[in-house]
Amino acid sequence: MDIELAEQLIDSLRVGLILLDHEGRIKSWNGWMQHHSGLTLADVRGQRLDTCFPDISGSRLEASITDTLRFKLSAMLAPSLNPNLLPLYHRPADRQHDQRMQQLIYITPLRHPRCACLIQIHDMTAALRRERRLRAQSTQLIETSYQDALTGVGNRRRFDQDLAQRFRQAQDKQRPIAMLMIDVDNFKAYNDHFGHQGGDACLIQVARTLREGLRRDGDRVSRYGGEEFALLLSETDREAACAVAERLRMAVEQLNLPHPLASGIGHVSVSIGVAAMIPTREQLCYILVAQADLALYSAKDAGRNCCMWYDAASGSASPLPASLIADLAVD
């Protein structure tokens, strides 16, 4: 192969090539380097790379080149672990904003009397952009799979995952965890009266009210099933959980959604069961669910539109303290 053809082939490669001599001076670089750096071979020949690109001084790239020249060691510098020190640009417009290309760099020793090191630079910008886009789409898909299609809150799958994770954390840290089981009162009658579209609209408004009533980052309402919703509260004891429950109950009541078939109330309401514990190592997470469920049905048996908490000492549910309800009503 003649020299002219070899140079044409090297210049046509879609990868940057730099040849350094034994003193670390630039012997050659190809057309790709000229295109993405804006410097011709005549501009850089005979100069050290750190003279052309002062940014690399003290960097891992400079250290790797030194190791290659001295000890004949190869190196690979991935863009995820190394800043893009070389001022190379994926597109000409990127140069104006100094948006450097994402660079994958291979440094290879050469056994040649005039050339000691080959540097190959791959433009990973497009590949990493695709990766970020795919990762974002994957994250969005996962989030969608954990979201209730109707109400937009978490679905049962989300609740089950949160329960297992947060219960285990409470066990490990020996910290309290609480659960609220929330049921829309007389929902079947509401659905029969207003139809499925009216019932769906009701659930959407209730779910939004419950979600907006939360005050801590990380607290999340999930649709447990049908007209039931569930809420897990980490680092929350019984008294604090009861306060949250009563505040949410009042928020739904204040929506004043008409419900002609709700005896004695006349509008949509919810019943809430509260359970809280510091779980032992031996306890299963679904004990908390069972306790909140028992408290919920006690609230419904007590006339609905109220909150009840599970008393582990007696194994039964009790009404919220009157002082707590009064304080929240004033607040």
Which residues are catalytic, by number? Answer: 227
Closest CA to 262 of 328, 208, 185, 177: 185
Q: 259 by DSSP, 3-state: which? A: coil
- Tell how many helices (H) and how many strands (E) occur in the chain: 11, 11
User: For 176, which DSSP code?
Assistant: -
Cα distances (Å, whole numbers) of residue 315 to 287, 291, 298, 310, 311: 12, 9, 12, 7, 6
Beta strand ranges found along the chain (DSSP E): 16-20, 26-29, 75-77, 103-109, 117-123, 177-184, 220-225, 228-234, 270-277, 307-311, 316-319
Q: Give the whole-angstrom CA distance, residue 294 versus residue 220.
A: 21
List Cβ neighbours of 41 (8 Å cut-off, separation of 6 or more): 28, 29, 34
Q: Give the whole-angstrom CA distance, residue 200 versus residue 163.
A: 26
List Cβ neighbours of 157 (8 Å cut-off, separation of 6 or more): 145, 146
**Long-range pairs for 36-43: beta carbons < 8 A, 24 or more residues apart:** 36/88, 36/89, 36/90, 36/101, 36/123, 37/86, 37/87, 37/88, 38/95
Q: Give the whole-angstrom CA distance, residue 37 versus residue 223.
A: 56
- CB-count exposure of residue 4 (10 Å: 0-12, 13-18, 19+): exposed
Cα distances (Å, whole numbers) of residue 248 to 215, 243, 305: 11, 9, 11
